[in-house]
């Protein structure tokens, strides 16, 4: 029986997942690594660690499943979006990659708005200039590192650096390309106008492909390094969120996904290139051909709970910590938490936004603080959902949820109440790596297209339905929405 391999180059680990034609995950290999922060607000990784981790993860899953490289019929790629991987003409890395959660480029975002025009930028790319995107990172390097800039010949995203090491080719999928802020959203290709306005050389940017299209094949050198068969096709894949949406079957208009990992994402598939007028939620191409999506992103979702645990309950399990919140009534007895620990993207594209507890009294204890964190993340996700609805997406009756945060029964119920929708989980928890494998299955010819593949491979189970607390959360969310505008002047003090 043939297999396909999905590889996800995430911020903290590279994961390799093997699936069979029934959609069963036959094995998983993982290799973890760290993020470097050489200065406040900076976030970087050396691309070599992704290649090392991919070799480890691929060999681990092949060994664990007793699979020969020849049994793998195709490889799909997914990965963290927006990172700037800069190579010279020989393919040598020029500097550590600047990652999606790096916040150094506020001045460059202003420069982009000025050069392109704020409204024109949104009309072309579907997005405002924010610090997370690739384009402002390029302008920062040009301004601050001229010795790097002079050698620049290729711009890739993280998973596409891995593609280059696997196949020798420079290529990118359209979903990830749309996340650079350099794409014409409707045309699904690089924007000549934006590149010209920003004085960026079009030759630096690789050809782009739809998610299941084959972009190259495994080289003999990569085969020797990974255990895969030379000549195995590698498909374009997608940025992690688009690939995750494929993996949970969110590819048609009206379907919505929630990913609750370090960051929190609401993802809605659309049949046309919609965008929010002020660019407060993101509009990108989908990894499914001819589809687009809206996406709201909060930077610290489950990351907020991890920070809280590490700061106030080090060593305690998340399950035990969250269980205490179950005994606290909805809205945490008037206590609110703003989850802007790393700045924010949706609904406030503000790298200087900060986290806060508001409403503390002597009557609150750790249980209330924990529930406030869970609710604050849910309220932040609801802010993004409301902006997406205003942009024209249909209101979802069901949300397909994934991510480590969904392990908590308490948090699942809070999310269902605040988002006012049924939550369902899917047959796999492997997220973007599973979606990359599904795209690989289409590329291998197992299915005629992505809709057919997801219909065959993705199954759902009920997780939580809105309960009585949703009524009280409407009022609590209205209070929550007043807190950022009130505190922003404090956040922005220099």
- Cite the active site residues: 240
290 dihedral zone (left: phi>0; alpha: psi -120 to 50; beta): left
Nearest to 9 by CA among 240, 223, 242: 240
CB distance 293 to 269 below 8 Å: yes
Phi and psi for 298 in degrees, rounded to 5? -110, 140
DSSP string, 166-230: HHS---EEHHHHHTTT-EETTTTEE-HHHHHHTT--GGGS--EE-TTSEEEE--HHHHHHHSPPT
Phi and psi for 282 in degrees, rounded to 5? -90, 150
CB distance 364 to 387 below 8 Å: no
Q: Tell me whether the omega of the peptide bond preceding residue 347 falls within 30 degrees of 0, making it cis.
A: yes
* 430/450 Cα distance (integer angstroms): 18
* 125/181 Cα distance (integer angstroms): 6
Cβ-Cβ contacts under 8 Å for 486 (sequence gap 6 or more)? none
* 290/81 Cα distance (integer angstroms): 20
How far, in Å, are 71, 90, 138, 153, 436 from residue 201 at the CA level? 41, 17, 11, 9, 30
SS3 13: strand
């Amino acid at each position: 029986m043939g297999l396909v391999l999905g590889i996800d180059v995430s911020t903290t680990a590279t994961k390799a997942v093997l699936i069979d034609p029934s959609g069963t995950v036959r094995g998983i290999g993982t290799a973890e690594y760290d993020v470097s922060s050489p200065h406040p607000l900076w976030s970087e990784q050396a691309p070599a660690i992704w290649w090392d981790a991919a070799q480890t993860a691929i060999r681990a899953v092949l060994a664990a499943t007793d699979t020969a490289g020849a049994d793998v019929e195709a490889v799909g790629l997914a990965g963290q979006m927006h990172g700037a991987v800069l190579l010279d003409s020989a393919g040598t890395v020029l500097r550590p990659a600047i990652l999606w959660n790096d916040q150094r480029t506020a001045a460059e975002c202003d420069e982009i708005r000025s050069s392109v025009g704020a409204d024109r930028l949104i009309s072309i790319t579907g997005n405002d200039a924010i610090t997370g995107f690739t384009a402002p990172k390029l302008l920062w390097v040009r301004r601050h590192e001229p010795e790097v800039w002079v050698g620049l010949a290729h711009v890739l995203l993280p998973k596409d650096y891995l593609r280059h090491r696997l196949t020798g080719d420079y290529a990118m999928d359209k979903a990830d390309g749309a996340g650079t802020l350099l794409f014409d959203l409707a045309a699904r290709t690089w924007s000549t106008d934006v590149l010209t306005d920003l004085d960026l050389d079009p030759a630096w940017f690789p050809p782009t492909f739809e998610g299941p299209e084959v972009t190259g094949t495994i080289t003999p050198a990569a085969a020797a390094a990974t255990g895969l068969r030379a000549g195995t096709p590698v498909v374009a894949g997608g940025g992690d969120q688009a690939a995750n949406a494929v993996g949970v079957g969110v590819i048609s208009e009206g379907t919505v996904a929630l990913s609750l990992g370090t960051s929190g994402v609401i993802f809605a598939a659309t049949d046309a290139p919609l965008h929010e007028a002020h660019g407060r939620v993101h509009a990108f191409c989908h990894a499914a051909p001819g589809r687009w999506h809206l996406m709201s992103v909060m930077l610290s979702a489950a990351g907020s709970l991890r920070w809280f645990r590490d700061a106030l309950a080090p060593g305690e399990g998340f399950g035990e910590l969250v269980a205490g919140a179950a005994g606290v009534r909805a809205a945490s007895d008037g206590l609110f938490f703003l989850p802007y620990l790393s700045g924010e993207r949706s609904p406030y594209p503000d790298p200087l936004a900060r986290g806060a507890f508001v409403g503390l009294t002597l009557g609150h204890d750790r249980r209330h603080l924990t529930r406030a964190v869970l609710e604050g993340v849910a309220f932040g996700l609801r802010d993004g959902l409301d902006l997406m609805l205003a942009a024209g997406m249909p209101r979802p009756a069901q949300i397909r949820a994934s991510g480590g945060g969904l392990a908590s029964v308490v948090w699942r119920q809070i999310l269902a109440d605040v988002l006012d929708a049924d939550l369902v989980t899917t047959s796999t928890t492997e997220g973007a790596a599973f979606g990359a494998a599904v795209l690989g299955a289409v590329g291998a010819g197992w299915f005629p297209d992505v809709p057919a593949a997801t219909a065959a491979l993705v199954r759902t189970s009920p997780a939580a339905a809105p309960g009585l607390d949703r009524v009280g959360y409407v009022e609590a969310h209205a209070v929550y929405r007043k807190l950022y505008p009130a505190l922003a002047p404090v956040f922005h003090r220099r």
